[in-house]
Copies of this chain bind each other. A is one copy, B any other.
Amino acid sequence: MKRHEIKSDIAWATPTQIKVHGLDLCSEIVGVVDFGQMAFLEIFARLPSANEARMFNAMMVILVEHGITPSSLATRMTYCGAPEAVQASVAAGLLGLGSVFVGSLDNAAKMLQDALPDPQASVDLKEVAANIVSAYRGRHEIIPGIGHPFHKPIDPRTPALFKVAQETGFRGRYVELMENIGAEASKQYGRPLPVNVTGAMAAIASEFKLPWKMCRGLAVAARAVGLVGHIIEEMRQPMAEEIYYRIEHEATEHSRPRE
């Protein structure tokens, strides 16, 4: 059987030394690098500049906590059955971060990166945006990254992110393209469809040159932190068992004989 190489460049250790992405863990990371820089290091294999760190942190913190969601409920349900396996509760909550809630981030980033493979290319972004919107309309597909069913008239997270982008030099062509898509869609559909948080994140991730397939990874890592917060609350102030009792009762009432 032919053997292929197995190689990892992330980390190595000897009895006296540990290196992660080329940095000495004990002297160059612990006490020096913060958790946000460390996440950046894991994703980009280098430390961020001050502006990169500020922009990256802004993205990460927005992904951490979304309150009571199907994801945090799955975590709480799992904790209620396996409190000794906290890792399983976090994992259960992450598993629902699929096409419905987080997939639109990948989709929006793919849309931007497919349309603008080279952000320096001299193209008319208004025209590119018009073509994208027309194509989605033609296929009767929802355009990712614009409009929001709950946060109206605008998603307040978008200006917050774009403000940081402005201040850190990340307000580039992908942000511009995303805004043009929102404007063009609003025009073509005849109702306000401003850029939502997903569109804003996708644009900034693209400014970071993060391939769209990796965007979901950011969301998953950040949400793991938030799910630990839900486990801590569930430990002190549980809701899972009460939800289960209520739902079991209601869902089977129609068939259960009167007791």
- A residues 1-46 touching B (CB-CB < 8 Å): 1, 3-20, 25-27, 29-31, 33-36, 38-39, 42-43
Oligomeric state, in number of copies? Answer: 4
- The segment out of A120-128, A138-146, A223-231 that lies at the interface is A223-231
- Quick check: is A222 within 8 A (CB to CB) of the other chain? yes
Q: Is A84 part of the binding interface, using a Cβ–Cβ cutoff of 8 Å?
A: yes
Q: A10-B67, A69-B244, A81-B100 are in contact. Are A220 and B90 (CB under 8 A)?
A: yes
In the bound assembly, the distance between CA atoms of A91 and B81 in angstroms comes to 14
Q: Is A189 an interface residue (CB 8 A)?
A: no
Given contacts A73-B244, A80-B70, contact A12 B88 (CB under 8 A): no
Q: Which residues of B contact A61 (CB under 8 A)?
A: 29-30, 33-35, 38
A62 to B213, CA, bound (A): 27
A-B contact pairs, 9 of them (CB 8 A): A25-B157, A30-B161, A31-B160, A42-B225, A70-B78, A73-B77, A81-B97, A84-B85, A214-B228
Given A18-B157, A31-B160; 20 other pairs, CB 8 A cutoff: A7-B254, A9-B233, A12-B256, A17-B257, A25-B157, A27-B160, A30-B62, A33-B61, A34-B36, A42-B65, A43-B229, A68-B247, A68-B252, A73-B244, A78-B92, A85-B88, A85-B98, A91-B94, A217-B228, A239-B251
